[in-house]
Amino acid sequence: MTRTALALVLAAVSAAPALAQGRVPPDAATERLSFAPVVKKVAPAVVNVFSKRVVRQQVDPFWGMFAPSGPRTERSLGSGSIVRADGVILTNHHVIAGATEIMVVTADRREWPATLLLDDARADLAVLKIDAKGEQLPTIPIDAAEQLQVGDLVLAIGDPFGVGQTVTNGIVSALGRSDTGVSDFSAFIQTDAAINPGNSGGPLVDMSGDLIGVNTAIVSASGASAGVGFAIPAATARQVVDVAMSGGHAIVRPWLGVKAQAVTGEMARSLGLAAPQGVVVTEVWPGGPAARAGVAQGDVIVSVDGQEVDDEGALNYRVGAMKPGEGAQLIVRRNGGAAKTVETQVQSPPGEPDAEPLIVTGRNPFAGATVINLSPAAAIDSGVDPFAGKGVMVSKVDGGFAQSIGLQPGDFIRQINDRPIAATSDVAAATRAPAGAWKVVIERAGRTITAQFSGG
């Protein structure tokens, strides 16, 4: 077979009953068959998602006392899938993040105002609802078989660059991609189907027309498709939609209570392993599920419920796909010994100490910021490593002096005017009275920043 003929085989799809899904077309006649039947089935349920938000600009987003230049309006374009006939739509969190207005345009060019049912920033998914007024809208079913294989043919549908609904085809390039820098919680489907800005939130579908993933991110030096795209798998999408349909407004995912990292070749040798596999436990949360099961620092977790884990993202994904209280079976190696089975019960992350959120007001450097006491639950909700540290963390910055000096969510407040800060009540006490000068110590991503400001 020539290279050209082989390329045609891999790019084709057959609607012939005799051709089972996953098999290469056997002859030239089959090669000439089209993706059109799948597109005709799916495309009516793919929508455009427009969102608008008002933001305040600042000259120096890192640090420095610069005045904001005033509010401006940002608009975002993405895609989505109608997953229920009454107008429930699945898209990406980053498409609608911070939106003050969300509009959906269906394939027949009708415009619909949308409300947000559930926004799951950690999985980068959001569930929207439009009022179909009793009309039964076309839908895309979320895949339930979960039998995806590398090499399967797929289609990506969305609105790249705002040019209009566009279909691209490719294959599943890899499964379980978690070390992508996109999220600490997902095991992405990798595809070479062209995905570009505007495709975010749109469906990745198989040859049965089922949604197998939500197109989310690309790796590209130019910002355009380079053949490396990532989609959130159907299992995660289904979990988020199910919670939204049950009336929930947040996903409560369990955790194992460990911090881990991928095993490298050098680490494998030092751990007595024949080859790199699994993740090595670097920290264990006292009293957490892993600690209760006897997992210790230095142990290597090879798999969770029979699914291999090769980095911390994959571990988080496998555990997070469970329900709190559900049993989990871990395969663990210790000191290069034989693999052993460890039974544990995953739990919701602990919420102690209580967050006790405080919106800081007055004339001080933190005015406009919301601060919380950090617990594992609050850390995960905020997208912060639960093992990042203890103390008071900035969870939100909404204008004010805090924004003008570059304070960011995730910053820890360590001192105010030489006063140690251990709880939000300490922040309230330290900022209650005006001061002629302010000296603050902030910790950001492990770096300590000390700054001084004049009082007002």
Q: Is 60 a catalytic residue?
A: no
Do the strands 307-308 and 327-333 form a parallel or antiparallel pair, or are they unpaired? unpaired
List Cα–Cα distances, 81 to 128, 213, 216, 226, 274, in angstroms: 10, 11, 13, 24, 45
Tokens of 69: 């230049």
Instruction: Tell me, yes or no, if 94 is annotated catalytic.
Output: yes
φ, ψ of residue 229 in degrees (nearest 5)? -120, 155
Residue 10 parent element (H or E): helix 3-11
Q: DSSP letter at 263?
A: P
Element (H, E) at 207: none
Residue 416 DSSP class: E
Spatial distance between the Cα atoms of 219 and 117, rounded to a whole number of angstroms: 30
Instruction: Tell the residue number behind the tokens 């939500």, with chain if given.
Output: 214
The rounded distance, in Å, linking the Cα atoms of 397 and 409 is 7
Of 76, 173, 200, 382, the active-site residue reads: 200
Among the listed residues 79, 81, 119, 124, the single catalytic one is: 124
Which member of 81, 94, 192, 303 is catalytic?
94
- 14 is annotated as an active-site residue: no
End-to-end CA distance of the chain: 79
Give 295-349 as a 3 state SS string. CCCCCEEEEECCEECCCHHHHHHHHHCCCCCCEEEEEEECCCCCCEEEEEECECC
Q: Rounded to the nearest 5 degrees, what angle is found at the Cα of 249, between the Cα atoms of 231 and 344?
A: 70
Q: Are strands 437-444 and 412-416 parallel, antiparallel or unpaired?
A: antiparallel
Continuous segment of H or E residues that includes residue 396: strand 392-397
Cis peptide bond N-terminal to 350, omega within 30: no
- What gap in Å lies between CA 213 and CA 192, rounded to an integer? 13
Query: Annotated active-site positions, please?
Result: 94, 124, 200
